[in-house]
Amino acid sequence: MTSLLEVKDLVIKFALRSGEVTATNGVSFTLEKGERLGLVGESGAGKSVTGFSIINLISKPGYIASGEVNFLGEDLARVSDERIRSIRGNRISMIFQDPMMTLNPVLTIGTQMTETLHQHNPKMSKEEARNIALDKLRKVHIPSPEKRLDQYPHEFSGGMRQRIIIAIALLTGPELIIADEPTTALDVTIQAEIMDLLMELCKTDDMGLILITHDLAVVAQVTQNIAVMYAGSVVEKGPTAQVVADPQHPYTQGLIAALPQSSGHGERLNQIPGMMPTLKNIPPGCSFNPRCPHVMDVCRQQSPGLRPGKNGNLAACHLYPDELDNSSAV
Amino acid sequence: MNRLDKFRESFLWYSFKRDKVAIASLIVLMVLVLAAIFAPLIAPYNPYDPEMIDIMNSEIPPAWEEEGVAEFLLGTDSQGRDMLSTMIYGMRISIIIGLGAVALQAILGVLIGLFAGYHGGRLDAFFMRAADVQLSFSYLMVAIFMSAILQAVVGVAKFGEIAIPFLVLVIGLSQWPQYARTVRASVLAERKKEYVEAARVAGFTSSRIILDQIFPNTLSPILVLSTIQVANAVMSEAALSFLGLGMPIDRPSLGSLINSGFELIFSGAWWITALPGLLLVILVLSINMLGDFLRDVFNPKLYKG
Amino acid sequence: MIAFMIRRLFQALIVIFIISVIGFAIKQSVGDPVRELTGISVSEEERDEFREKLGLNDPWYVQYGRFFGDAIQGDLGTSFFYKRPATEVILEKAPATLELVLVSSLIILFFSVPLGVFSAIKPDSLFSRALMGSSIVGVSIPVFLTAIMMVYLFSIKLGWLPSFGRGELVMLGGWGTGLLTVDGWLHILMPSIALSSIMLPLFIRLIRSEMMEVLESEYIKYAWAKGLSHRRVWFVHAFKNTLLPVITVGGVQLGVTIAFTILTETVFQWQGLGFMFMEAVERSDAPLLVAYLMFVGIVMVGVNTIVDLIYGLVNPTIRIAGVK
C-alpha cells in the first residue's frame, strides 16, 4: 500500500551570493493516511524548509537539489507547475506561522476562503462555495459566521485568525495538512485550544498532519510519531511516546532533559552546551559531535546514518553500531 | 583589522567591484567634480572676466562645425563667452549649490529626526506634523515663489549677488523632512533593540546613546537618500535658473545657460542650449546611477541569486 | 473613519490659513498698488488720498481681515497689468493648465501601471531591465530640457508638431477646450508628454518596487500555498496592496506637477496659469502673484485632502477601525 507521503533523501540547497549552502542533507520520512507526524528541531534546523519543499514552495534562492517527495506515489518535486498548483491548497493544505501576516489585509475573509474553492472547482456556484465556507467556519467554532465572512482580517483576534486559517485548510477536504509552527505566534492560553482543535479535525476527517515545531510539549500531545531534526538532518525517528520517554540520540536526550519538567523544583535547568552550527559551518562527521557528551573518534570522521537504537527508534548515532558504518556513508 | 581592511572586505566594496555601471558612474562623477574644483586651472578662459569677452565673438558654433574655430572648442554663447569655460564654471556653481543645499537639509533633518525619534512625545508629534505639511507642498513651487518674491523685493541686481546662498537656503530648508522622516524611522526601529536598553541601564545620557549607538545604524539610509537629494537639488537649481529665478546670466549655472540659448535654437544656434543640457544630464545621471547602486547594496531583501 | 476625516479636514484648514497669511505678507511687501493703479502723473497729495481710500494706512490686522474676507468671497484683488480682477484672469487661464495636467495624468496612468506591474512580475526579463535603465535616464533629464529637445526635434527639424500655443479652441461655456479639435490635440501632445516625462519613470519605478515588496510578503506566499493561479495572485492579492501607497505618493506628486507646469508652459508658451505666473513675476504684478499662490495652495491642499480621504476609504484597515 502506498504511503500518503514518502520523502526520500531530500537535499535542499540555497544559492546565495557568497556560494551554495545545504539546508537539508538527505531527509527521509514516511507518513501514512491519517497519521500525525511531528517534525521537531530548533530554528535553522531545516524543518520549515522541509515542510515547504513538500509542495515545492521554498523561497528563492532555495531549491530542491535531489531526492523525492512522493505523494501517493507521485513525485511532487518533479511534476509540472500546473499539477503542483492543483495539489496545493486542494489535497495538501498548509498552515503558516503568523496568522496576521498570512491573511491579506485588503480582502475579506469570505473572499479569501471562496477563492480557494473556486480555484480548484471552477464550476462551483458562489452560493455553494459560501455554504462550504460557512460550514468550515462553524467547524472551527467561529461564532456568527455569516457576518464574519464579510469582515477583514484586522477585525479578528489572533486566535480567531488562526482558526480561520485552519478553516481555509479544510475547505477542499485535503488528505494532508502541513502546519508550520501554528501556535508560536499565539498566546499560551490559546495555543492549547488551537492544537486540540487541529487534532480533533484530523482525527474526524482522517487527515494526515505534519506538525513542524520547536515545542516538544505540543508535539508530545498531538502527534503519533516524531522526527527530530538537527543541522539539516533527521537524527531520530520513532513513535512519539517512545522518543520522549526513552530518547536514543544524544541531541534528543539533551532536548528532553532541557524541558522544565525534567528538572526538579528549584534546580537549574539542564542545557546542551554550545549552539547548533549555521549552515555554513557544519562540522565534518556527525554534525552534533562538538556538543555531544558521548562523542567518540569515529564521530568526528564519519557521519552516521539512521539505524535502530536500543528500543527500536531510529537514531543517527555511532552509539548504536550498524553494518553500514564502515562503508562511506553520507 | 584596520578600517581600510574592513572596507575592502565589506559587501559594499565587493558589490562595487563587480558592478561596471557603478564604477563607470563614479569615474564620470569624479571627473566632473574634479573639473569643477579645478575650474580656474582647466577652463581655457575666465568667463567672468569682462576683458576676455568680446561681443563680436557671439554665437560661434562648436569647433567641429563649418563656421567653428579651434579657440572656442564648444562655440560661444550670445554674449561671446567661451562655451566650454562657461559650462565648467556653471557646473561648478550647480555642484556647489547642490552639495550645500543637501548638507543643510541633511544636518537639519538628521538632528531633528534623531532627537524627535528618540524622545518621542510632543516634540516628535510637532515635528512630524510640520514635516507632513511641508512635504505636501511641492518644494519646487515654494522655491519658485520665494525666488520670485525676493527678486521683486530686492531687485534683479541684488538678487544676483545673494543668489548662491539664497538658493542653498531655499532648497536646503525645504527638504529637511525627507531626512527627518528617514532617520526617525531608523531610530524608532533601533530604539527597541536591546543594546539601547543596555546602554540606558548602564547610565549613558540620551545624547550619547543617540550619537554613538543609534546614529551609525542610520547611516546607510542617509547615504542613499543623499544621492537622490543631490541629484534633485541640482535639477531644482537648474529649473529655477532656467526660469530666470536662479543664477543670473552674468554668473550662469547650467540652467541659466540653457535658458539663454532657448530662443536661439530657432535660429539654429543649438549648442548654447544642447551642450549645457547634455552636461547637466550626465552629471545628474551619474549621481542617480550611484544612488541606485547604493540602494541595491544596502537593501538586504533583493536577492540577485 | 469619521474621526480620521475630521482630523484631515482640520489639518487642511490650518494649512489654508497659513497660506493666506503668507499671501497677505507678499501682498504687503511687493509692489506699490497706488503707483500701479494711478500712474506717474498724479500728485503726491492725490496719491496719499488714494492710499487712504484704499485703506492702506489701516493697521495690519484690519487689512488682513479685509484681505481674508474678500478672499473667501472670491475677490483676490485686481491685477496691475490686466486691470481686471485677479480671480477673473485666473479662471480664464485655468482651463489651459487643467487640460494639460489631465492629459498628462492620463498618459502616466495608462503607461505606468502596466509597465510597473510587468517589470515587478518579471524583473529579469530584457524588457524590464531596459525599462529600468531608460527610466533612470528619464528621471535625470529635467522637464524643460525634454520640452526643448522635443521642440527641436518635432517642430524645428521635422516640422510635424506646432511649437507654441494651444491651437484651435472650442468654447464650452466659459471653458476654452483644445481637446475637441485635431489642431488642439496636435498642440497639446508635446507639452503633455514633456510634463509626464519625469513622472512616468518615477511611477513605473514606484509601482515596480512596491509590487516587488508586496510579492515577498507572507500573505502572497500563502496565496501560492493555496494553489491560486498566477493571475489571481498578481492581480487580485498583490495589486490592491501595491496601489495603496501609490495613491498617497500620487497625491504629493500632483503638487510637483504644478511646479512643472510652470516650466513646461514657459517652453511651449502655453497660455495657462504657469505662463501667467512667469509673466506676473516679470511685471511685478503682486495681486496676480498672490492670487496664483492662493489658488495653487487651495488646489494642492484640496487634492491632498481628497487623496487622503480616498486612501482612507480604500484601505479597509482605516475604513473600519478608523485608526491609522
Contacts of A105 in chain C (CB under 8 A): 219, 241, 316-317
Contact at CB, A155 and C221, closer than 8 angstroms: no
- Residue C292 scores a pLDDT above 90: no
- Residue B304 scores a pLDDT above 60: no
Pick from A41, A25, A39: nearest CA to A255: A41
Angle (CA) B27-B30-B34 rounded to 5° is 145
Smallest Cβ–Cβ distance between B149 and the set C26, C266, C301 belongs to: C26
Which pLDDT score is estimated for A325?
57
- Residue B169 scores a pLDDT above 60: yes
* C288 and C27 Cβ atoms separated by less than 8 Å: no
- Residue B3 scores a pLDDT above 70: no
Residue C6, all three cell numbers: 475630521
pLDDT tens column, C118-141: 998 888 888 888 888 888 888 899
Contact at CB, C266 and B243, closer than 8 angstroms: yes
Subunits close to C (at least 3 CB pairs below 8 A):
A, B
The C-alpha of C110 sits at a distance from chain A's nearest C-alpha, in angstroms, of 24
Contacts of B304 in chain A (CB under 8 A): 17
Contact at CB, C227 and A104, closer than 8 angstroms: no
Tell me which range, B180-189, C50-59, C76-85, is most confidently predicted by mean pLDDT: B180-189
Which pLDDT score is estimated for A329?
45
C172 — contact with chain B (CB < 8 Å)? no
Contact at CB, B133 and C11, closer than 8 angstroms: yes
pLDDT confidence band for B202 (50 / 70 / 90): confident
Contacts of A60 in chain B (CB under 8 A): 303, 305
Q: How far apart are CA C241 and CA B144, in angstroms?
A: 36
Pick from A296, A301, A300: nearest CA to A320: A296
Contacts of C227 in chain A (CB under 8 A): 85-90, 116, 119-120
pLDDT tens column, C216-242: 888 999 999 998 999 989 888 998 888
Higher pLDDT, C286 or C192: C192
- Residue B263 scores a pLDDT above 90: no
* C92-104: average pLDDT: 88
- Residue B283 scores a pLDDT above 90: yes
Contact at CB, B136 and C301, closer than 8 angstroms: yes
Higher pLDDT, C164 or C34: C164
Which pLDDT score is estimated for B7?
63
Which pLDDT score is estimated for C223?
92
B110 — contact with chain C (CB < 8 Å)? no
pLDDT tens column, A258-313: 877 777 777 777 778 778 888 778 888 888 888 888 888 888 888 888 888 888 88
pLDDT tens column, B61-79: 777 777 777 777 778 877 7
pLDDT tens column, C246-275: 888 887 787 788 888 888 998 888 888 888
Which pLDDT score is estimated for C324?
40
B48 — contact with chain C (CB < 8 Å)? no
- Residue B197 scores a pLDDT above 50: yes
Subunits close to B (at least 3 CB pairs below 8 A):
A, C
* A4-10: average pLDDT: 89
| Residue ranges of chain C whose CB lies within 8 Å of a chain A CB | 217-219, 221-229, 232, 236-237, 240-241, 244, 315-317, 320-321
Residue C55, all three cell numbers: 485703506
pLDDT confidence band for C175 (50 / 70 / 90): confident
Interface list for C 1-40 with B (CB within 8 A): 11, 15, 26, 29-31
Smallest Cβ–Cβ distance between C227 and the set A89, A101, A105 belongs to: A89
**CA nearest A85 in C: which residue?**
C227
pLDDT tens column, B43-55: 777 777 777 677 7
Contact at CB, A89 and C226, closer than 8 angstroms: yes
Which pLDDT score is estimated for A39?
92
**Which H or E element spans position A38?**
strand A36-40
Which pLDDT score is estimated for C39?
64
State ipTM. Answer: 0.86
Which pLDDT score is estimated for A227?
92
SS3 at position B75: coil
pLDDT tens column, C35-70: 666 666 667 777 777 777 766 777 777 777 777 777
- Residue A70 scores a pLDDT above 60: yes
Smallest Cβ–Cβ distance between C316 and the set A57, A106, A115 belongs to: A106
pLDDT tens column, B203-246: 777 777 777 777 777 787 888 888 889 998 999 899 999 988 88
The C-alpha of B258 sits at a distance from chain C's nearest C-alpha, in angstroms, of 8
Ranges A82-91, A106-115, B48-57, B280-289: which has the least confidence:
B48-57
Smallest Cβ–Cβ distance between A154 and the set C218, C223, C317 belongs to: C317
Smallest Cβ–Cβ distance between B144 and the set C141, C145, C259 belongs to: C259
Contact at CB, A119 and C241, closer than 8 angstroms: no
pLDDT tens column, A94-152: 998 888 888 998 899 999 999 999 999 888 898 999 999 999 999 888 888 888 889 99
pLDDT tens column, B95-121: 999 999 999 999 988 888 888 877 778
Which pLDDT score is estimated for A113?
92
- Residue B305 scores a pLDDT above 60: no
The C-alpha of A328 sits at a distance from chain C's nearest C-alpha, in angstroms, of 38
Which pLDDT score is estimated for C38?
66
Contact at CB, C316 and A152, closer than 8 angstroms: yes
